[in-house]
């Protein structure tokens, strides 16, 4: 007699789409085939009882820079996806820049996919890039399965991925609208950015003011209105931009926004000194008042997603001061714990955190029919999360290639104990698949 299910997982704290409750989840052929009362009889080949450990849907991180090939010494598919699995992320979407070649043509996408194939512990999809001159490449990339197109309004930090001028933005957005595609925008107005006057954090912060984000976002809103494209604002840091975003959303324009764990959990006041460049990222981490406004933006729904912008480099590039160091904070493994620690302190539920870190990013990428929720028919991508477990961040325990982190020594709550991809515990076997739009 065969069992009905390959695996049953029971938890007193299953985070389901309509909230937290005790439940038993039955898995068959890698998919969620039953959601029943916690003590329901479900004949299964294997069974796990988590007790009071929470059961979450796997997180979906739509903002990850895996720099392989080309800058594999910064980060690679094996190390990044190992960190992801350890942090409860079962799906990630890779950014089109910092690897070489950048993902701005179908040939470059094929190169990326070849580097990833057979090397990933979680499921991986790809964003394409919109740069000056590649409008003819956008439709082929769309057909080849990228989830949308990233562009910059200001310098990207790497020469092979130049920003789009306002006229080029109009042209690219129109082309993407014609595909009914999605454009995702690094929005800082180059006219409002300056060179830092010195190497300290205050000078760096002053060189990238909130007005730079607000002005670029207002320009994106105008282009959404003119072209009808669906747009998403990446890594929102400046709370000043919440007002125009909220107004645009109220008017029915198709524009969404994300923020990142570091903007929600760190603050400019925390940066110890001018050598603490683990805190450097663009746009910058601002003051605590701004941070609390971002939490309000999340609670109000103006910001829908919290994703990491995991953007590592080699430690030597982080040396020096805030004027010279590479920008980027890498938190694939820590994002859930960091955000949950801060969310809980502000009275938010684990369900809300999962909404921001799994359900909304899955919807952004159009993966919500199979990812981001514990729902019948969805992939059995699941996480056992000890939500009350205190721990202190030890960089030596991080799996990404260069574990430089501003979270070193931080006391957090909530630890991932196990992660399943399509019903299989993630171990060292690369069972991740490559995803297409
Ligand atoms: Zn990024």
Place of tokens 């590039």: 317
334-357 per-position pLDDT tens digit: 999 999 999 999 999 999 999 999
Tokens representing residue 1 in the block: 């007699």
Is the confidence at residue 1, as pLDDT, over 70? Answer: no
Q: Report the separation in Å between the CA atom of 150 and the middle of ligand 1, taken as the mean of its atom positions.
A: 9
Distance 99 CA to ligand 1 centre (A): 12
Confidence of residue 401 (pLDDT cuts 50, 70, 90): confident
**Ligand 1 midpoint to CA 310 (Å):** 7
> What pLDDT digit, counting tens, does each position of 367-388 carry?
999 999 999 999 999 999 999 9
List helix spans (H) across 24-68. none
Q: Which is nearest to 184 in space by CA: 89, 282, 96?
A: 96
Query: Using 50, 70 and 90 to split pLDDT, how confident is the model at 266?
Result: very high
Model confidence at 290, pLDDT cuts 50, 70, 90, reads: very high
> Does residue 354 or residue 2 have the better pLDDT?
354
- The answer to whether position 32 is within a domain reads no
- C-alpha of residue 44 to centroid of ligand 1, in Å: 42
Dist CA 340 CA 385 (whole Å): 11
65 CA distance to ligand 1 centroid (A)? 6
Q: What is the mean pLDDT of residues 275-284?
A: 94
Q: How far apart are CA 32 and CA 24, in angstroms?
A: 11
* pTM of the complete model: 0.97
Share of the chain above pLDDT 70, in %: 100
Identify whether 218 is part of a domain: yes
Q: What is the mean pLDDT of residues 81-99?
A: 97
How many folded domains does the chain comprise? 1
- Closest Cα partner for 384 from 18, 39, 51? 51
Mean pLDDT of the chain: 96
CA 31 to ligand 1 center in whole angstroms: 31
Residue 305 Cα, ligand 1 centroid: separation in angstroms? 14
282-304: average pLDDT: 98
* Ligand 1 centroid from CA 329, angstroms: 9
Please give the residue that has the higher pLDDT: either 318 or 219.
Answer: 219
For residue 418, tell me if it sits in a domain.
Answer: no
Angstrom distance (rounded) from CA 287 to CA 342: 15
Residues 6 or more apart in contact with residue 351 via CB below 8 angstroms: 15, 19, 20
Query: What burial letters (b/e) apply to 27-53, b meaning 16+ CB within 10 Å?
Result: bbebbbbbbeebeeebebeeebebeeb
Is residue 182 in some structural domain? yes
Query: What percent of the chain has a predicted confidence (pLDDT) above 90?
Result: 92
Q: Where in the sequence is the domain holding 156, given as residue range(s)? A: 59-367+399-405
If you measure from the C-alpha of residue 30 to the centroid of ligand 1, how many angstroms do you get, rounded to a whole number?
31
Cα of 393 from ligand 1 centre, angstroms = 23
The Å distance, Cα 350 to ligand 1 centre, comes to 25
The whole-number pLDDT of residue 74 equals 87
pLDDT confidence of residue 3: 83
Q: What is the pLDDT of residues 48-80, one digit of tens each?
A: 999 999 999 999 999 999 999 989 988 899 999
Pair of tokens at residue 229: 């494209």
CB 328 within 8 A of CB 283: no
Ligand 1 centroid distance, CA of 234 (Å) = 8
In angstroms, what is the span from residue 95 Cα to ligand 1's centroid?
Answer: 7
User: Is the per-residue pLDDT at 178 higher than 70?
Assistant: yes
Token reading at 246: 């909220």
Distance 103 CA to ligand 1 centre (A): 14
Cβ atoms 300, 246 nearer than 8 A: yes
In a domain, 421, yes or no: no
How far is Cα 322 from Cα 285, in angstroms, rounded to an integer? Answer: 12
CA of 189 to the centre of ligand 1 (A): 16
- Ligand 1 center from residue 101 Cα (angstroms): 16
CATH code (residue 363): 3.20.20.140
Q: Are 91 and 362 in contact (CB under 8 A)?
A: yes
Q: Which residues contact 1 (CB under 8 A, 6 or more apart)?
A: none
210-227 vs 166-178: helix axis angle to the nearest 10? Answer: 40
331 has a pLDDT exceeding 60: yes
Strands 382-392, 54-57: pairing is antiparallel
pLDDT score at 2: 67
Q: Mean per-residue pLDDT for 7-22?
A: 97
The answer to whether position 377 is within a domain reads no
For residue 24, is it within any domain?
A: no
Tens digits of residue pLDDT in 205-240: 999 999 999 999 999 999 999 999 999 999 999 999
CA of 308 to the centre of ligand 1 (A): 8
For residue 417, is it within any domain? Answer: no
């Amino acid at each position: 007699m065969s069992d009905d299910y390959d695996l049953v997982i029971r938890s007193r704290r299953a985070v389901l789409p309509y909230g937290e409750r005790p439940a038993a989840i039955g898995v068959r052929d890698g998919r969620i085939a039953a959601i029943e009362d916690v003590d329901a009889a479900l004949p299964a080949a294997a069974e796990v009882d988590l007790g009071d450990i929470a059961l979450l849907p796997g997180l979906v991180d739509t903002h990850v820079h895996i720099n392989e090939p080309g800058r594999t010494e910064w980060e690679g598919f094996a190390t990044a996806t190992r960190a992801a699995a350890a942090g409860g992320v079962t799906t990630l979407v890779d950014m089109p820049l910092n690897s070489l070649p950048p993902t701005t043509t179908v040939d470059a996408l094929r190169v990326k996919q070849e580097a990833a194939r057979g090397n990933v512990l979680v499921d991986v999809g790809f964003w394409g890039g919109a740069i000056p001159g590649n409008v003819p490449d956008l439709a082929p990339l769309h057909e080849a399965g990228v989830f949308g197109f990233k562009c910059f309004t200001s310098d990207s930090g790497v020469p092979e991925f130049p920003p789009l001028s306002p006229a080029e933005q109009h042209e690219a957005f129109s082309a993407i609208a014609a595909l009914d595609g999605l454009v995702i925008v690094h929005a800082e107005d180059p006219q409002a950015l300056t060179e830092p006057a010195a190497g300290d954090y205050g000078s760096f912060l002053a060189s990238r003011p909130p007005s730079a984000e607000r002005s670029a976002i207002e320009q994106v809103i105008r282009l959404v209105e003119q072209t009808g494209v669906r747009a998403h604002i990446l890594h929102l840091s400046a709370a000043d931009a919440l007002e125009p975003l909220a107004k645009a959303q109220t008017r029915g324009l198709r524009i969404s926004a994300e923020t990142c764990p570091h903007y929600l959990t760190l603050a400019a006041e925390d940066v110890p000194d001018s050598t603490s460049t683990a805190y450097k990222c663009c746009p910058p981490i601002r003051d605590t008042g701004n941070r609390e406004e971002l939490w309000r933006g999340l609670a109000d729904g103006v910001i829908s997603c919290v994703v990491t912008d995991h953007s590592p480099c080699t430690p030597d590039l982080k040396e020096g001061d805030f004027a010279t160091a590479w920008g980027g904070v890498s938190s694939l493994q820590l994002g859930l714990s960091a955000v949950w620690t801060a969310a809980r302190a502000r009275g938010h539920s684990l369900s809300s955190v999962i909404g921001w870190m799994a359900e909304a990013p899955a919807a952004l990428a159009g993966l919500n029919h199979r990812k981001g929720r514990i729902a019948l028919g969805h992939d059995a991508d699941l996480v056992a999360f000890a939500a009350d477990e205190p721990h202190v961040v030890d960089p030596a325990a991080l799996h990404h290639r260069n574990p430089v982190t501003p979270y070193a020594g931080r006391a957090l709550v909530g630890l991932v104990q196990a992660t399943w991809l399509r019903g299989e515990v993630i171990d060292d076997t690369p069972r991740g698949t490559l995803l297409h739009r």
